Each structure stands twice: as C-alpha cells, then as structure tokens.
C-alpha cells in the first residue's frame, strides 16, 4: 500500500491518531500561525487548516498550510467548494501539493449568508463528494478533469467530513458510504457530545463494512462555558449538545466551567478509544489551542 503522508502512515499501522485544528487569522499576520504551531507541535499527528471557516475571510488555507510545512508540522488542508469553480479547485490542489501539503479535507463550506460578507456570490460548481472524486482521480490516474496528463500528479491523503447528528439520521451512514466510494481515505466527524447517537452511527457503519473502507476520527471540542454549550446547540447547524451536558456545565461555578469542559472532552475521548471502527480523534479546540497539550496528556494519547 502506498503511503501518502505521516498521518496516513500512523493510521495504516493501526495506531490511534490525533489531529488538531488551526484557524488562520483575519489578516496577513504570520505570527498568529507561528503561535498556534508552538502550542500544537509535538502533541498532534497533523493539523487541520480551515478554509475561510464560517464564511469569514481569512488567510488562505494553502498559505497557512505552507507555514505549517515550513515549521515541520503536517497540515490537513481544508478545501471548500463554496468559493471555487472546478478550474480553480484543480489548480489549487496542484499548487498545494507542490508546497509539500500531503493531506486534504474536502468540504462544502458554510453558506456565505452566515459569514461576514453575505452579499458574496457562491460557486458550488461541484459538490464535496465530487471534490473527493476529483482529488482521487487526479492522484490515481494522473489526469485532470479534462483528461490532460499531469506531469506530476498530486499524491494526497484524502479526507472528508461526516455529521452523525444531522437529520435524517438514516441517511448519515449512506452519505458516509458515498464519500468512501468517491475516494475518501479518512473521515473526521462533527463534534461529539451525544455519545448515544454516535455509538448507533458507528455501529451501523461497522455493519455496512464502511469502517473497513477508510479511517474514522471522532471529533471533540472542549467546552469553555455553559453559554458556549447552549450557543452551539441552538446556533450551530448540525450540532447536538444534549441537555444533560448543558446542565452539567451549568452545575459548576463559572470559573470552573472550562475545567469541566475539558473533563467532558476526556470522557468522550476515552469512550471513543473503546469503540470498534474509531481510528483516532480530531481535537477542535476553537481558539483554545493551549488546551490541546493538556487534553492529549491527560487522555494518555502521547
């Protein structure tokens, strides 16, 4: 089996992988990226670099990923289809690979109406499943979408996202299968707070043989406050934060809520480590990168 990246190599050995996340700044300040690199390096196997997340203009994911490569930290470059047509998509994939970027996460992207410039036009020339297929075909056939032979094909480890908590629930595993069939090598899930529903989703994925087709990393996000828990449950699409979690966060003093959030995160990671079909965790400590080292160490992941 060909190995495409360090993240791929670790997963292929059957080891429990850890990925983190780095949101580029709303500006051209490289020092913001450098600070996050220092907090994450040595604690995660790779770092997702978001692509204008929440439809807010930020430093490009390609440029930010290149900064990670230069610092010796392996990026997982996110790419959304919201902002690019198929020509730009293929061009950016090749450009990213030429800069040493070996992992890509293929996404639709948050709709621009929720972002800082809602009047912007979206593109959505192809969807996220066809983006996965495009990267796979470029890698495996050495041709672009027009059939042109590439002198160097981008040899990338291909990722996708999955949300076990969106409705209708019955479609969640079907959509996971579509992404693996299109060529996804690994999948990172939405933040897990409703463990009961996630266990049912991974059970169905195991039954369908999907956990044998690629690697699944469960998403976790430490809560900093009860207010954050309520906001994510009510305002973030596809998020499922059970009332019992919100009450648990409410049940401790405000100054202790961040510690309780990390405790919940550690319990979730422990539960994920015990599930068949889960190959790692994706830690999304949103603008709280200094919590990652604590989580990794206390979870016994390093």
pLDDT tens, 62-93?
999 999 999 999 999 999 999 999 999 999 99
Compute the CA torsion angle 203, 3, 292, 251 (nearest 10 deg).
-10
Phi-psi region of 77 (alpha: psi -120 to 50; beta: other; left: phi over 0): beta
Confidence (pLDDT) at 110: 87
C-beta neighbour count of 120 within 10 angstroms: 13
Least confident piece of the model among 115-119, 158-162, 294-298? 115-119
Tell me the helices (H) and strands (E) count for the chain, helix number first: 11, 8
pLDDT in tens, 178-192: 999 999 999 999 999
Confidence (pLDDT) at 178: 98
Fold of 6-298: TIM Barrel (3.20.20)
| Confidence band for 287, pLDDT divided at 50, 70 and 90 | confident
Helices 226-235 and 243-250 meet at what angle, rounded to 10?
160
pTM of the model as a whole: 0.95
Whose structure tokens read 């490569």? 69
Cα–Cα nearest to 17, from 43, 36, 38: 43
Mean pLDDT of the chain: 96
Check pLDDT > 80 for residue 294: yes
| Confidence band for 1, pLDDT divided at 50, 70 and 90 | confident
> Does residue 58 contact residue 24 with C-beta atoms inside 8 Å?
yes
Taking the C-alpha atoms of residue 33 and residue 104, their distance in angstroms, rounded to an integer, is 18
pLDDT in tens, 192-251: 999 999 999 999 999 999 999 999 999 999 999 999 999 999 888 778 999 999 999 999
Confidence (pLDDT) at 238: 79
Cα–Cα nearest to 23, from 78, 71, 73: 78
Q: Are strands 186-191 and 157-162 parallel, antiparallel or unpaired?
A: parallel
pLDDT in tens, 244-277: 999 999 999 999 999 999 999 999 999 999 999 9
């Amino acid at each position: 089996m060909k190995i495409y990246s360090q993240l791929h190599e670790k997963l292929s050995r059957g080891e429990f992988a850890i990925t983190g996340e780095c949101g580029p700044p709303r500006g051209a300040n490289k020092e913001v990226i450098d600070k996050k690199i220092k907090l994450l390096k040595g604690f995660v196997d790779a770092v997702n670099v978001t692509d204008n997340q929440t439809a807010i203009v930020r430093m490009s994911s390609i440029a930010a990923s290149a900064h990670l490569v230069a610092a010796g930290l392996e990026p997982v470059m996110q790419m959304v289809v919201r902002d690019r047509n198929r020509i730009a998509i293929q061009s950016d994939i090749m450009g990213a690979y030429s800069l040493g970027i070996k992992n890509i996460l293929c996404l639709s992207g948050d709709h621009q109406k929720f972002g800082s410039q809602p009047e912007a036009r979206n593109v959505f020339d192809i969807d996220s499943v066809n983006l996965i297929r495009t990267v796979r075909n470029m890698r495996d056939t050495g041709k672009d979408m027009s059939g042109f032979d590439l002198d160097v094909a981008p040899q990338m480890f291909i990722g996708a996202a999955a949300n076990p908590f969106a409705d209708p629930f019955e479609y969640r595993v079907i959509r996971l299968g579509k992404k693996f069939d299109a060529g996804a090598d690994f999948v990172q899930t939405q933040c897990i707070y409703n463990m009961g529903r996630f266990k049912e989703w991974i059970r169905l994925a195991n039954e369908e043989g999907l956990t044998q087709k690629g690697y699944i990393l469960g998403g976790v996000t430490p809560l900093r406050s009860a207010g954050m828990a309520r906001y994510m449950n009510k305002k973030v699409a596809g998020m499922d934060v059970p009332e019992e979690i919100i009450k648990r966060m409410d049940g401790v003093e405000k100054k202790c809520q961040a510690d309780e959030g990390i405790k919940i995160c550690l319990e979730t990671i422990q539960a994920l480590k015990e599930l068949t079909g889960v190959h790692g965790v994706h830690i999304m400590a949103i603008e709280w990168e200094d919590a990652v080292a604590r989580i990794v160490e206390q979870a016994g992941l390093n």
